[in-house]
Amino acid sequence: MVERLAAEAPTLRLIRLGRNTGVNAAINRGLTEVRGDFVCFSAADDVVGPDFARHSLELIARHPAAAFCFSDPAEMDSEGGGVHPLPLRLADRPCLLRPSDVEALLTRNFFAFPGHATIYRRKTLSDLGGFIEDLRWYADWFTSCVLAFRHGACYVPEVMAYYRLSRHSYYMSGIRQTAVQRELLYRVLDLLASAPFRDVAPAFRRSALTPEFRLRVLRWLATSPRHRDYLTPRLSARLAVRGVWWVVKPYMPGWVRPALRRLARGMRPLSGASAQVLP
């Protein structure tokens, strides 16, 4: 199929890998081959809307310091029919989130940068070294957080890309592997203690940020002498609250989550007073 498309589109090149080295290795190989200024990483079963590239690129072009542009996620059912928007409600208009804005938002809200709805500035991502391959399904999460803390990011409060969340997906299969999840958490903290990422480690810590927010993380950190100092009172409280939320979430009406997010923001999204808003 790719060969047939490449025959019709001269800008499309098929890069064949000699063996299956994993998603992150393939992404990093792609970064060495790509010629454009921007890259995005859509999974085979993701869908992008007709305005995704245009709206994202128009915004990030106005803010050359930003490392990437992301928009609100939306989940599709397994057949690609029913769509469930998951608005982040981080701002009421397209804007630049400076590093200080990113830290403030992550401190007050539970959200992750949606990989399927993100367009990266290629050079900034390449300068970072691409995705850290042994972080597996958390590689894009870690990379996006590091880039946002260093350079800031653009945000479009609109659903323009869609993903399918299957129990058999790479991420969902991974998080059920308890021992692997624990080792990935420790790997993230070891990276933050290393020289290349020591500059953003305080922002991670102040934001009480971890790859996951389940109660088991509290136990993993408390029982690891090397990582115990990352367990701040703020993080302990967040893990406890989030642990309770996972239990009661299935019974909550749909309006509860956006109401809690508005409350965490002080009843209003970011505006021109706290972020650079696109005119």
**Is the same domain home to 148 and 184?**
no
**Is the same domain home to 201 and 157?**
no
Residue of 172, 186, 42, 50 whose CA lies nearest to 114: 42
Contact between 184 and 98 under an 8 Å Cβ cutoff? The reply is no
193 located within any domain: yes
Range of the domain at 77: 1-176
**Is the same domain home to 158 and 196?**
no
Query: From the CA atom positions of the chain, what is the Rg in Å?
Result: 19
**Is the same domain home to 89 and 172?**
yes
**Is the same domain home to 132 and 145?**
yes
Q: What is the DSSP string of 235-261?
A: HHHHHHHHHHHHHHGGGS-TTHHHHHH
Among 176, 193, 215, which residue terminates a domain? 176
**Is the same domain home to 32 and 169?**
yes
Q: What is the CATH number of the domain that holds 29?
A: 3.90.550.10
101 located within any domain: yes
What is the pairing mode between strands 74-76 and 83-85? antiparallel
Residue of 234, 239, 241 whose CA lies nearest to 207: 234
17 located within any domain: yes
**Is the same domain home to 202 and 74?**
no
Please give the C-alpha separations between residue 208 and each of 10, 94, 106, 213, in angstroms, as whole numbers: 47, 26, 8, 10
- How many angstroms separate the CA atoms of 65 and 121, rounded? 10
Position 164 scores a pLDDT of 85
- How many angstroms separate the CA atoms of 30 and 19, rounded? 15
Residue 87: Cβ within 10 Å count = 15
Position 278 scores a pLDDT of 42
93 located within any domain: yes
| Tokens 């959200």, located at residue | 111
pLDDT tens string, the chain, 279 residues long: the values are: 889 999 999 889 999 999 999 999 999 999 999 999 999 998 888 999 999 999 999 999 999 999 999 999 999 887 656 888 999 999 999 999 999 999 999 998 889 999 999 999 999 999 999 999 999 999 999 999 999 999 999 999 999 999 987 666 665 566 677 899 999 999 999 999 999 999 999 999 999 999 998 889 999 999 999 999 999 999 999 999 887 877 777 676 766 666 665 555 554 445 543 455 443
**Is the same domain home to 159 and 188?**
no
**Is the same domain home to 168 and 233?**
no
Write down the H helix ranges in the chain.
2-8, 23-33, 52-62, 99-108, 122-128, 139-151, 170-175, 178-192, 201-206, 215-222, 233-248, 256-264
**Is the same domain home to 77 and 201?**
no
Position 242 scores a pLDDT of 83
Please give the C-alpha separations between residue 237 and each of 60, 184, 185, 208, 263, in angstroms, as whole numbers: 35, 21, 18, 9, 17
**Is the same domain home to 30 and 164?**
yes
61 located within any domain: yes
**Is the same domain home to 38 and 100?**
yes
272 located within any domain: no
19 located within any domain: yes
278 located within any domain: no
Amino acid present at 68: F
Q: How many domains does the chain have?
A: 2
Amino acid present at 6: A
